[in-house]
Each structure stands twice: as C-alpha cells, then as structure tokens.
Amino acid sequence: MPRSGADRGFSGPLSVIAVVGIALGVTVMVMAVSILRGFQADITNKVVGFGSHITISNYDRLHAYAEMPVEVDSVLLNQLRTTEGVRHVQAYATKGGMVKTEEQIYGILLRGLSDDYDTTFYASCLVDGRLPDLRGESDTSNLSPLASHPSNEVLISSTIARKLQLKVGDKMRTYFWQGNSYRARAFTVSGIYNTDLTEMDELYVIGDLRQVQRLNDWVIGDSNGANGAQAPQVGGYELLVSDFRTLDATATRVLALLPYDLMLTTVTQAHPALFSWLDLLNTNITLILAIMCLVSAVAIVSALLIMIFEKSATIGLLKALGASNRSVRRVFLMKAAGLILWGILIGDAVALLLSYVQRQWQVVQLDPESYSMTHVPVLVDPWVYLAVSAATLAVCLLALLLPVASVSRISPAKTMRIER
C-alpha cells in the first residue's frame, strides 16, 4: 500500500492497521463462504451419486430391501426425457443380500444399474480396478437390457473390501432370499470405490441390473409390451436434473406425468435430516459475515476518526481559505475509500491463494468418519468474491458517514488558535 508524507503521523500506522483489518475480514468471509459451499456441494454430489435427484418407484414398495417392480413404459420414458429440467433418465433396482466368506457374513444391498446408467460419480470415486461391465451382450437401445449373459462383475467399497478382505479379481459369494428359498451368486470384484460416506460405503455393492431382475424373477425382455408381450420390469427410474436449484420445479413437472401407481421422491425428501443440517450451516456463515463486516467497519472508522483529529488544523485552514464542508468530507471519504479498496484487493488475493493451495495440495485434512471427506473442500466462485467485496465496500462506506460528519463541527478559528 503506497504511503505519502502526509501519512507519517499517528494516522499512518493506523491506516495500515485498518487495511490489514479489512483484508483479514474479507479473507475470512470469502474462505468461510467458499468452504461452506464446497462442503455442501461435495456432500450433495455424493448423496446424489448413490441415487439421483429424483426417484420414481412403485407406490407398493415394501421397504428399502424389497422393491415392487415398475413396468417399463416407453411412452412415459420419452415424456420424462423431454421434460424441461431433466438431464438424464436411467433405470435401477436394488436387492438385499449377504456376502459369505470363510470368516464372516456381511449384509449388503446390491444396486443394479442399467447399461446406459450415468457412472460418472462411481468413476470419480474409483480407487482400484475398473467399473463393472454393464453392457455385455445387451441391446442398448432402451433401458431394458436383454436377458442373455448378465455381468457377474461388481464394484464394492473400500470399507466392504477391508472388512471382508477382498481385492480386485476376487470371487464374492453372495446369497439372496427369494420367496421361501435363497439364491446364490458368485460375483467377481472388478473395482473398489471410496466416497467417505460411511452409511453408503458400508452398504452398497454396484452391479448389473439384469442380475437383480433375475433374482426377483422379473421380466427382462426388451419388448416394451409390444404384441401382447409383458413389458420389462425394473425397480424404478432415476432422473438427473440440469440445475439442482430448480429441483422442486422440475419435480412438479415430472409428477404431473406420472400415473397413479408411481410415486416421486426427491433427494431432499429422501434425506431430510442431512439437507436440513446443510441448510443450518448457512446460519453460522451469516453470523461470521456479520462479525467480519463489523470488524472491517470499526477498523476503517477508527482510522478515519484519528485521521480527522490529526488533520484538524489542516481542515480549519482549508475552511478559512473558502473550502466547503462538503468538499472537505469528499477528500476524507476518497482517502478512506482508497484504504478500503486496498484491503479488499489484498483480502481477495490472499483468499484466492489459500483456496488454490488447499485445492492443489489439500493441506488441511479432515477425519472422514466425522466429516465424510478427507480434506477441507473449497469451491472457488467469482460471484462469491464479487459479492463479499461489494458488501464490504458498502458497509464500510455507510459506516464512514458518522465520522465524516464531524468535519462540519471543526471551527477554523479554534483550530488556528490551538495551532498557534
């Protein structure tokens, strides 16, 4: 920050302190908002990754481990795909089972995915091996793969792999209860993923939708009910939206298309406690922003008051020479505005540097069991920097109205007499 000869008095060091205070406040505010938004985005992406933004299932669903089938309706699927706000439509099914090893038995939930399922999330969480082959010899023209040769490959979490001492390439003997008997499947571990979401990692095994269809004795054909044939059956549909902010509006449009026997659930409805907790974090950030804005305002007001007090003789001289109160106030406001801008620029630069370092090298680590992530996430958004900077400038300038008003109460005669 440049300094002139006029800043060599007591107001000079105080101006530096004011700039440092504003810079510190801006840095804290930007980092707080960036970390909060990064945390919310990371948790939301993980929860959505295990499912979707919108889930369509049968009204007669018994519980999470016993789904009632939904018949594939090509007309409904085409309507869903062309609905405003819907980015992708995919089929799924789940089946509860138990993995048996030589040493223990472990309960899992097999999540069967269609061959056109958006596996971007699982690919990003992959730590070893590869994703399961969901295509095989299936016909990829629609959501219902053919019955021939369903894939035996599965993707398991690092938590399950550690507990069952499994690695890529191992066989995983799994048993599923169906009716009055059980059915066994020997899956091959093709890959291992890790999301740090304990509840999900301890439960889900990712595999082929056709395996679940066969285990449940569901129809697997691709006829879509043509020529009197029975339509294929799946556990339900999952819809990904283009913009999470328009989730409720998109869900309303989708709901209007559904028949009476299908129900719609959004991700916020499926996990109300989690999203309520994420929303509650906004209260803490609001408190931090208010405190930091107050600190910045106090810093610049203190500096300006000392500056006016120290330059009272100069102010009196200017008034004696014909300067108006308005023009003198403008001089001090411009000086204070310059200090504020320097503080904001320095604060933004420091926040951007800290964000880059954290994103690049993940310096600040977290306990994944407590925070569901291994490091502090930072979401760099230019609009956050602009909003914080504009709010800080506005608050500080408003706070300056009180100290600059004292300029009009300075008498040229008194200040010149005191100076003599």
Tens of pLDDT along 73-115? 999 999 999 999 999 999 999 999 999 998 899 999 999 999 8
pLDDT of res. 149: 77
pLDDT of res. 222: 57
* Res 349 pLDDT > 60: yes
Residue 147's pLDDT band (cuts 50, 70, 90): very low
Contacts of 221-225 with CB under 8 Å at 24 or more apart are 221/144, 221/146, 221/147, 222/139, 222/141, 222/142, 222/144, 222/145, 222/146, 224/72, 224/73, 224/74, 224/142, 224/144, 225/71, 225/73
Report for 13-17, 283-287, 296-300, 338-342: range of highest mean pLDDT: 338-342
More confident residue, 358 or 220: 358
Residue 108, class by beta-carbon neighbours within 10 Å (0-12 exposed, 13-18 middle, 19+ buried)? buried
pLDDT of res. 153: 96
Q: Return the minimum-mean-pLDDT range out of 217-226, 261-270, 389-398.
A: 217-226
Q: Which two tokens stand for residue 397?
A: 């300038």
pLDDT of res. 139: 42
pLDDT of res. 17: 86
Q: What is the mean pLDDT of residues 191-195?
A: 97
Which of 135, 109, 111, 108 minimizes the C-alpha distance to 121?
Answer: 111
* Res 420 pLDDT > 60: no
* Res 383 pLDDT > 80: yes
H or E segment to which residue 57 belongs? strand 54-58
Report the distance separating Cα 266 and Cα 53, nearest Å: 6
More confident residue, 354 or 303: 354
CA quadruple 127, 109, 199, 285: dihedral sign = positive
* Res 272 pLDDT > 60: yes
pLDDT tens-digit readout, 159-172: 999 999 999 999 99
More confident residue, 409 or 271: 271
Q: What is the mean pLDDT of residues 173-179?
A: 90
Q: What is the mean pLDDT of residues 372-397?
A: 94
Residue by residue, DSSP assigns 219-248 as ---S-TTGGGPPPPEESEEEEEES-GGGHH
Global pTM? 0.84
* 8 A C-beta contact, residue 340 and residue 23: no
Residue count (the chain): 420
* Res 125 pLDDT > 90: yes
